[in-house]
């Protein structure tokens, strides 16, 4: 890949996955009314990583990925309610 194309892709990726814009989008679409530990940004990154790297069978698989990715220990029920 040419350096110029890689640079453009990097900039596009940064704009697309900007935490502030994803959290704002989550609030405007009513995905998230209050930001707690499970923010729209963290949830999006978790879903992308979980679907890209594992075979998912249950919501618990996504929950485990979230806890590992964010370094937090969120209980299952609050995570499920937010999801």
Please give the backbone phi and psi of residue 34, each rounded to the nearest 5 degrees, phi first.
-130, 140
- Residue 40 contacts residue 25 (beta carbons within 8 Å): yes
Handedness of CA 66, 67, 73, 77 (dihedral sign): positive
pLDDT tens string, the chain, 83 residues long: the values are: 566 677 888 888 888 888 888 888 888 888 777 777 788 888 888 888 898 987 888 889 999 998 998 888 888 888 887 77
In this prediction the pTM is 0.75
Residue 28, pLDDT score:
87
Residue 4, pLDDT score:
67
Residue 33, pLDDT score:
74
């Amino acid at each position: 890949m040419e350096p110029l194309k890689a640079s453009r892709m990097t900039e596009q990726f940064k704009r697309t996955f900007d935490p502030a814009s994803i959290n704002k989008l989550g609030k405007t679409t009513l995905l998230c009314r209050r930001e707690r530990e499970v923010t729209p940004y963290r949830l999006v990154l978790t879903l992308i990583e979980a679907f890209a790297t594992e075979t998912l069978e249950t919501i618990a698989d996504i929950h485990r990925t979230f806890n590992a990715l964010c370094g937090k220990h969120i209980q299952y029920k609050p995570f499920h309610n937010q999801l």
